[in-house]
Amino acid sequence: MSSKTKKRAVLPSRPAPPNVNQILEDINTAFPNDPVFFILSQTGQGSAHGAADSEVETKYQQGRRYLELNERLQEVRGRLAQQREELQAAGEQLQQTVSEVKAQAL
């Protein structure tokens, strides 16, 4: 059976977005371990815990630094691989030249 003869499934229409009251109700009834709100409860956002905010900022900066260093390492890795290939080619060329000199000396 070809794909043209198959009937397409009719999808239901999208639901209306929630209003402000529904959103607030959802936030207020969320469990403390809800993944969306878990980080907020761990860091103390929304409360007077400035130290927790600075800890989150520190971890964020550490994560950014890690990503930057990882990117630099990948770049350096690529350059090292290229230099290694160049050195291997130069070594092979040198060995060939040494062999030629030895053959001429005999």
CA 84 to CA 92: how far, in whole Å? 12
Longest Cα–Cα distance of the chain, Å, equals 96
- State pLDDT tens for residues 56-68: 888 888 999 999 9
Element (H, E) at 59: helix 50-105
Task: Check: CB of residue 51 under 8 Å from CB of residue 57.
Answer: no
- State pLDDT tens for residues 4-46: 667 777 888 888 999 999 988 888 888 777 777 666 666 555 4
Helices (H), 29-49: 35-43
Flag whether pLDDT at 78 surpasses 70: yes
Quote the percentage of the chain above a pLDDT of 90. Answer: 40
Q: What are the tokens at 51?
A: 């130290």
